[in-house]
Chains A and B, each alone.
Chain A
Amino acid sequence: MKLLLATVVSVGMVANLQAAGRDTISVVGSSTVYPFATVVAEKFGKKTSFNTPKIESTGSGGGMKLFCSGLGLKFPDITNASRAMKKSELDTCRNNGVTDITEIHIGYDGIAIANSNKAPLFKLTRKDLFLALARQVPNPDGSEALVDNPYKTWQEVNDSLPATKIEVLGPPPTSGTRDAFAELALEGGCQQFGWIKAMKKADKKAYKSVCHSVREDGPYIEVGENDNLIVQKLEKNPNALGIFGYSFLEQNDDKVQGSIIENKSPEFETIADGSYPVSRPLFFYVKNAHKDSIPGMRAYLKEFTSEAAMGEDGYLLDKGLIPLSDSERAALRDNVMSGKKLVIK
């Protein structure tokens, strides 16, 4: 045992020495940004003489935690996120010495509410989605009170919808897609009730719990984080709707169709111009202090923000990223190169 301990310790020391000269960029974070970041990393590795960056898929929250653990070679250089960094996360970062961070907004991702091609196309509003999926909804008799969601069929929610059972397959609460869905679709519908919206000022917590809580009595079915699985299940069950990212819709449009939300169908153009209501921004965050200590950092940032990657004809678009506008991209490049420091109020 002593010998074993001795080997472990000595091996540890060797590894420490090895880690001292890390020459590979280390990236962690969101599984939604992972498909885009990996494409850039691969191109970067092939084009340049630098090593291909290592990209871990840890989820947005997990990524932030690792990223904010400290400065130095032991900690990741970049974290990807499918939502903006929270104030509390930035505080953690600061407490651990990571004070100089640049936020890079890479584009948008639409969230599709889709069903099987064999079934009729749904035309929904965010209000319909809220009424169908929230845990508590305004009393159907019109009074300003909340009741547990009584709706069983789509027709009960909105007369123009079919009389099929409400059955929606979606990601679990740990997923960034679920957070984004709650924020964009449910809260969007929720706000259309003036008296709930008024709650926001009076009691923000209660407002959030009303607008972001998904019902747990059956109609919303959690299917794990795997979007391909949701597509497969939709194919087998034409009555169900599913919630997943736009890039999966694009790859599987022989099997599923994206529902029209407030007269906009989830398409490249509608997401890019912001008219499709359920789309979210994607980011990555970079430690400016690491720019000079890790070889290739500047080149990687340049590659990611280059016109060839995220521009109108960029290869990231082919992977399903929805780009920023021309002016936004130009401003972004300036920020990246100057290392604009992130401040959250």
Chain B
Amino acid sequence: MNNTEIVKQGLKKRYAREKRFQLYGKLAVLSGFVFLVILLFDITSKAWPAFSVTEILLEIPVDHESLGLSKDSEPNEEALSGINYAGLVKQAIRNVFPEVTKRQQKKLLYRLVSSGAEFEIKQMMGENTDLIGGEPVSVWVKADDDIDTYYKLETVTSRVKGEQVRFIEKLKAEGRIQTSFNIDFFTTSDSREPEQAGIRGALVGSFWTLLVTLLVSLPVGIAAAIYLEEFAPQNKITDFVEININNLAAVPSIVFGLLGLAVFISFFGLPRSAPLVGGLVLSLMTLPTIIISSRAAIKSVPPSLKEAALGLGASHMQTVFHHVLPQAMPGVLTGAIIGMAQALGETAPLLMIGMVAFIVDVPGGIFDSATVLPVQIFLWSDSPERAFTALTAATILVLLAFLTLMNALAIFLRNYFEKKR
């Protein structure tokens, strides 16, 4: 038996082995894909009710008598804020259901409408003072979250009473109830009433926090990477630093929160719950990721390029900044964006520095109290009201969209810089 025959004998086995391996590979990819699809399907199916909101049509009386204003003078700020808007809403509901007279029933009736309705009316009147004294104004006001859930999903809990179901049937028959796109989900901040809650505050908070993270961790990370890779002497101290950076990348993120609490808040006296502190803590967390990936990118630049630059008389620094860094940029940016994406999805370290909080006002800068998207998800997922389940899922979708966008940006930048060189 010569060599060819020996090889031929084993050939079948070898092909089979390769086929088996490919099959394992395909199965692995397929199972990953299946999990992803299940996850996305589950979240999306839970999230869709959050994007629509149930509204009820009411005719709000705006004559002087109902508003409690005098006919003679122009209404000023003070008179406008003195109007009993809640009373107006109640009166409008009673007008739709003139047959309801008992106190207990009336209470159920008023609960059809969101407690935010009076503020909607207040805002409308403040902006259009010329409405005063005219005919009743038709307004679609938001329904209460229990009614909203019942109407959209037909879930029957004891939160919606039998009487209220009859009220809703009547509204339906008169065409006074509809669902429309929930624009407020994107334009308002956290609220304890699900129908009034939105993610604007959390989005803006995430923006400020990530801005601080980016401004701190990117320059520091790249500078550290360049120094360690190109200039630092190889000795015990740099070895020690290197080991520590690699270890830091694996430290649980809550530890950074504790560190942030001790250093930034207790020692430097920075304000609790501020995006500044959140951003600093998250930059501590992302620094190792950025340093490690930047170093890898710098290392992968061919030495011939460096040698050519040095040979033509460029200084070490010129070589690094004119030739090495531009070549390494795609890798550096990919690392930075993946680090940022990590920071965007983090909650644990923020708990320690007070960003897991109920904050209604949209933060106007890095010193204002703020919360971030993943924290909003965490807070809503733990709320008893049923309608928050949908809001939670919808916020997860928004967060996923941003993560996808950031990763897409990383890929785009990599391709862009690769083409450029």
Query: Is the contact region of chain A dominated by helix, strand, or loop, or is it mixed?
Result: helix
* Interface of chain B residues 85 through 117 with chain A (CB within 8 A): 107, 111, 115
B357 touches A54 (CB 8 A): yes
Nearest residue in A to B189 (C-beta to C-beta)?
A52
- In the bound complex, do residue B272 and residue A253 qualify as a contact, i.e. CB atoms below 8 Å apart? no
Question: Does A259 count as interface, using CB distance less than 8 angstroms?
Answer: no
Q: Do the beta carbons of B156 and A320 come within 8 Å of each other? A: no
Pick the contact of B360: A11, A18, A45 (CB < 8 A): A45
A12 and B386 contact, Cβ closer than 8 Å, known pairs A253-B157, A253-B158: no
Check B159–A15 contact: CB distance below 8 A.
Answer: no
Q: Are B192 and A319 in contact (CB under 8 A)?
A: yes
**A247 lies within 8 A of B360 (CB):** no
| Beta-carbon contact of B379 and A57 below 8 Å | yes
Is the beta-carbon distance between B381 and A226 smaller than 8 angstroms? yes
Q: Which residues of A contact B191 (CB under 8 A)?
A: 42
Query: Looking at the complex, which of B49-57, B133-141, B263-271 is the stretch in contact with chain A?
Result: B263-271
Question: Is A286 in contact with chain B by the CB < 8 A criterion?
Answer: no
Check if B367 is an interface residue, CB within 8 A of chain A: yes
Interface size of B as a range: 35 or more
Kindly state the separation between the CA atoms of A52 and B271 in the bound complex, as whole angstroms: 17
| Contact mask for chain A residues 315-326; partner B; CB cutoff 8 A; 1 contact, 0 none | 100111000000
A-B contact count (CB 8 A): 108
> Does chain A have a CB within 8 A of B174?
no
B residues 306-360 near A (Cβ < 8 Å) are: 351, 354, 356-360
Question: In the assembled complex, which residues on chain B have CB atoms less than 8 Å from the CB atom of A226?
Answer: 381-382
Are the CB atoms of B382 and A24 closer together than 8 Å?
A: no
Distance (whole angstroms) from the CB of A235 to the closest CB of chain B: 12
Partner of A52, one of B157, B351, B361, B386: B361
Within 8 A of B (CB), among A29-85: 31, 34-35, 37-39, 41-42, 45-46, 51-52, 54-58, 74
B382–A31 contact, CB under 8 A?
yes
Bound: A16/B274 CA distance, A:
12
Please tell me which one of the listed residues B268, B361, B386 contacts residue A51 in the complex, with CB atoms under 8 A apart. Answer: B361
With A18-B271, A228-B381 in contact, is A42–B156 under 8 Å at CB? Answer: no
A248 B384 Cβ-Cβ under 8 A: yes
Bound-complex Cα distance A319 to B264 (A): 37
Closest to B380 in A: A228
A95 an interface residue at 8 Å Cβ cutoff? no
User: Which chain A residues have a beta carbon within 8 Å of chain B's beta carbons?
Assistant: 1, 4, 8-9, 11-12, 14-16, 18-19, 24, 26, 28, 31, 34-35, 37-39, 41-42, 45-46, 51-52, 54-58, 74, 225-228, 245, 247-248, 250-254, 313, 315, 318-320
Are B273 and A56 touching (Cβ within 8 A)? yes
B401: interface (CB < 8 Å): no
**Is B37 in the interface zone, CB < 8 Å from A?**
no
Complex contacts, B158 vs chain A, CB 8 Å? 250, 253
Contact B360 A41 (CB under 8 A): yes
Q: Do residues A225 and B382 form an inter-chain contact, with CB atoms below 8 A?
A: yes
Would you call A19 and B383 a contact (CB within 8 A)? no
CA distance in complex: A18, B271 (Å): 8
Chain B residues lying within 8 Å of A39, measured Cβ to Cβ, are 192
B263 to chain A, nearest CB (A): 10
* A78 to B318 CA separation, bound complex (whole angstroms): 58
Contacts of B360 in A (CB 8 A): 41-42, 45, 52
In the complex, are the beta carbons of A251 and B385 less than 8 A apart? yes
Tell whether, in the assembled complex, residue A56 and residue B356 are in contact, meaning their CB atoms are under 8 Å apart: yes
Q: Are B273 and A54 in contact (CB under 8 A)?
A: yes
Chain A residues with CB under 8 Å of B280's CB are 8
